[in-house]
Amino acid sequence: MTTTVTLTGTGVPIPSPGRAGAGVLVRYGETMLQFDAGRGTVLRLTEAGVGLHELTALFVTHAHSDHVIGLPDVVLGRWIQDHVWQTGPLDLHLPAGAAAEFAARMLDPYAADIALRMEHVQEAPPELRPHAFACASEPREIWSRDGVTVEAVAVHHEPVPDAVAYRVRTPDGTVVISGDTRVCDEVEMLSRNADVLVHEACRTTALRAAVAGTPFEKIFAYHADTVALGGLAMRAGVGHLMLTHLIPAPDDEAGEGAFEQDVRLGGYAGTLSVGRDLMTATIG
């Protein structure tokens, strides 16, 4: 079989044409793992040819709204069509703390809708199956099935206290998804010899003077500088670096080229993709 990595959303909280909210799909045979669920995730999965009933599990990196706002849509959409596919609840893996608290309450605003649907079609309410885990500075395995394993490690997205990156191992190779983080040793360790690293990217070095004294200066401080990211990918021996969560979102090829120039300046010479929604990489 072949492992594929699909960017289901490359955007940030500020909407940008053609860019859904944060999300990555890793597929190995019939095992389909979604990481984060930003705005538009359900539509992007549909465009990628993946039905909600086909998802094996969903993993959340942290509680920022642009990474979880599409999560109720995934859960409710799967539930609404359950009488057709009979797939049952979706396993949801996420850090303990704010992300787990969000998941526990996220369907509350839909109580009336759920009750109405149960009056005429659905036999039971949507069932959440959350699996919360403690963040740790060393990678720990949190999921395994059919030759595929997922590990998590705490990253540095302060002031967010509970944020993680994930490493997926399949018989074909290794995929790492950074979530939101500064360039840090934990992700570098997790990415050692990874076939694909999907990493958020912020043009901090290039735009430092432009954002000085503005709120963006604080925002840039807890995201990954593209130049430093190039150094991380080089040292870790990453085979293919895919940039996502692009700050600021490029609107043309020249803008994408600026991201690439930053990463190359940092020293990375491997395969590089400046992410677009539904861009796919293949391992195996």
Which residues are tagged catalytic? 66
Contact residues for 217 (Cβ-Cβ < 8 A; gap 6+): 211
How many Cβ atoms sit within 10 Å of the Cβ of residue 146? 12
End-to-end CA distance of the chain: give it in Å, rounded: 7
Alpha helices in the chain (DSSP H): 41-47, 65-68, 71-80, 82-85, 98-105, 111-120, 185-190, 204-211, 215-221, 226-236, 253-265
137, HSE (Cβ side, Cα atoms, 13 Å): 3
How many Cβ atoms sit within 10 Å of the Cβ of residue 62? 24
Report residue 222: phi and psi, to 5°.
-115, 30
DSSP 19: B
* Spatial separation of the C-alpha atoms in residues 20 and 48, rounded to whole Å: 13
